[in-house]
Amino acid sequence: MAGVPNTYADPVHIAVIGGTGLQTLPSFTLAATLTPSTPWGTPSSPISILHHPSPTTGKPIPIAFLSRHGLHHELAPHEVPSRANIAALRSIGVRTIIAFSAVGSLQEEIRPRDFVVPDQIIDRTKGIRPFTFFEGGMVGHVGFGDPFDEGLAKIVRKCGHSLEGEGVTLHDRGVIICMEGPQFSTRAESNLYRSWGGSVINMSALPEAKLAREAEISYQMICMATDYDCWHESEDVNVEMVMGHMRANAENARRFVGAVLDELSKEEHGEQVLAKHLDGQTKFAGSITAEEGRSEEALKKMSWLFPGYFD
């Protein structure tokens, strides 16, 4: 956009990854538009740096916003360059990500337009998406028992509940089934996922959550149900239905995200927002490959992402 700077001097600690139907956060002031390139390519979209007024001081707090499927939803779930997205966000200072996702509901009580703050994921992607920073001569294993950040989830839940009665219904926990897509599930699959205890289904939680963990970024997804997938006797899921519910409830989704940003902005330099509890985990995860076994190429990439960890 003409006149908008393409650099931003200060580190940006908080990011929002917008999903289907949430491709912008129009109520904030655009301070810069960044187009970083990373050793894993360029992100899905330019990164908008938005100024969010701190609810306590009024001072503008920078928030990075990235549109997962591109500015015009041109990237299919398996084409989203998640490594570039996460690497680019980390490189500008991001340590906390709120990720938004439109999901199918696998449970009667999660009705279209309800929100869910999930706490678990079952991986039904097919291994065709690049899913780790650790490869090609540097091995690393990070813990993923709890794929989301419980400290961040608590903040998100509190904000969601504060909007209850104003059109927001929130489910505090849930298991996301992350499928490959882009086709929706068969009815047999949908019923299988229900029998596994799945709450909601999408195509985007992975590898995003795994890569955020490797990058030592606190990550929580906020899901909004847009359909009952195909297990339910009501209509079968289709894009029109997803977009219809998304459009109808986009204002609530934006208010929810805005409330979370208010809360996080109060603690922009706090331990939770800076993910201090994750600091250094990747240095140890990657120390399994002895120095003499590390490839130059892998080392170069990892040193770009984690300056000082492996040099």
Ligand X SMILES: CSC[C@H]1O[C@H](OP(=O)(O)O)[C@H](O)[C@@H]1O
Ligand Y SMILES: Nc1ncnc2[nH]cnc12
What is the rounded distance in angstroms from the CA atom of residue 225 to the CA atom of residue 107?
10
Closest Cα to residue 199, out of 169, 178, 220, 168? 178
Catalytically active residues are 227, 229
Position among 21, 104, 174, 286 found at the interface with ligand Y (CB under 6 A): 104
What is the rounded distance in angstroms from the CA atom of residue 38 to the CA atom of residue 87?
7
**174 is a site residue for ligand X (CB under 6 A):** no
User: Going residue by residue from 157 to 196, which x/- string records binding to ligand Y, judged by CB under 6 A?
Assistant: ----------------------x----x------------
Subset of residues 20 to 49 that bind ligand Y, contact rule: CB under 6 A? none
Cα dihedral angle (297, 303, 305, 307), rounded to 10 degrees?
-170
Residue 201 CB, shortest distance to ligand Y, in Å, is 4
With a CB cutoff of 8 Å and minimum separation 6, the contacts of 163 are 170, 252, 255, 256, 259
Is 91 annotated in a binding site? The answer is no
Residue 28 CB, shortest distance to ligand X, in Å, is 20
Is 20 annotated in a binding site? The answer is yes
Location of structure tokens 């129009």: 26
Is 68 annotated in a binding site? The answer is yes
Nearer to ligand X by C-beta: 77 or 286? 77
Do 19 and 101 form a contact (C-beta atoms < 8 A)? yes
Position among 205, 237, 278, 298 found at the interface with ligand Y (CB under 6 A): 237
**242 is a site residue for ligand X (CB under 6 A):** yes
**226 is a site residue for ligand Y (CB under 6 A):** yes
Is 42 annotated in a binding site? The answer is no
**77 is a site residue for ligand X (CB under 6 A):** yes
Position among 82, 204, 220, 282 found at the interface with ligand X (CB under 6 A): 204
**Which of the ranges 5-13, 38-46, 196-204, 257-265 carries the binding residues for ligand X, by CB under 6 A?**
196-204
**Which of the ranges 135-143, 159-167, 224-232, 300-308 carries the binding residues for ligand Y, by CB under 6 A?**
224-232
Residue 180 CB, shortest distance to ligand Y, in Å, is 10
Q: How far is CA 43 from CA 61, 134, 210, in A?
A: 22, 19, 17
Do 14 and 55 form a contact (C-beta atoms < 8 A)? no
DSSP state of 311: -
Nearer to ligand Y by C-beta: 48 or 204? 204
Q: How far is CA 216 from CA 27, 53, 68, 149, 211, in A?
A: 29, 26, 20, 11, 9
Closest Cα to residue 24, out of 79, 58, 70, 93? 70
What is the rounded distance in angstroms from the CA atom of residue 149 to the CA atom of residue 307?
24
Is 146 annotated in a binding site? The answer is no
The CB density around residue 189, as the number of other CB atoms within 10 Å, is 17
**206 is a site residue for ligand X (CB under 6 A):** no
**67 is a site residue for ligand X (CB under 6 A):** no
Do 63 and 49 form a contact (C-beta atoms < 8 A)? yes
Chain residues binding ligand Y by CB under 6 A are 102-104, 179, 184, 201-203, 226-227, 229, 237, 242
Q: Annotated binding residues, as ranges?
A: 20, 68-69, 101-102, 203-204, 227-229
Chain residues binding ligand X by CB under 6 A are 19-20, 68-69, 77, 101-102, 181, 202-204, 239, 242
Q: Annotated binding residues for phosphate, as ranges?
A: 20, 68-69, 101-102, 204
